[in-house]
Amino acid sequence: MQGLQSGEGPLLILLKGHPAVGKSAVALALAQLLRWPLVDKDDARDCFEGIAELAEVPPGILNSLAYKIMFRTASKQLLAGNSAIVDCPLSRISLYQEASVLADKHRAQVAVVECVTHQCHEWQQRLEARTLSDSADQAHKPCSWKAVQTLIAGYQGACDWTNDGSCKLSRHLVIDTSQGSPQELAASAAHCLGIFAKPSGGVA
């Protein structure tokens, strides 16, 4: 993985991973460690849940709007010269391509931090625990192990774009979320990427 060099401008870290794999916990820990802004697609999507019920808007449209808000928010951070962390499944290569165009526009770097786990039992437990604690505005999220498996199957392999040769990534880090706490994993990710927080939000 290519290292990060001082003076290269902001860094856009893209978290990637399936629902309940531990991605958002790592994203939050990384944002707290680096003191960088965190942009979560679900923050926008959650707000639309009431609209979906009232106006009967197809979920796909609301999801697309949530991604647009996510990318616009990230773009504003990069425009201000801040590095940022983006939290979304990043299940399709088109999302990475959109982020790359955005980064190029603001002369920023891009790194993908992919969260996986080989402990399916732990993953399932995490999903079930999240389902019990989720509020009504998060009803759009998969609420069972079967729902997650159906979602992954529906991608028809498209979610494997980071490893199937579809795209050459200069900065791609894979972390197993079963191998430590979110804080430990965030510290390891920052070390592997060769970055630390600066008051300006840049990369050093």
Lowest mean per-residue pLDDT among 80-84, 117-121, 200-204: 200-204
What's the mean pLDDT when you consider all of the chain?
87
Q: What is the pLDDT of residues 54-103, one digit of tens each?
A: 767 777 888 999 999 999 999 999 999 999 999 999 999 999 999 999 99
Q: What angle do CA 60, 65, 66 make, to 5 degrees?
A: 95
Residue 166 has pLDDT above 60, yes or no: yes
C-alpha 8 chain-centroid distance: 22
Q: What is the pLDDT of residues 20-51, one digit of tens each?
A: 999 999 999 999 999 999 999 999 998 887 77
pLDDT band at 9 (very low <50, low <70, confident <90, very high): confident
Give residue limits of the domains in the chain.
11-193
CA distance 158 to 156: 6
pTM for this entry: 0.87
CATH no. for 11-193? 3.40.50.300
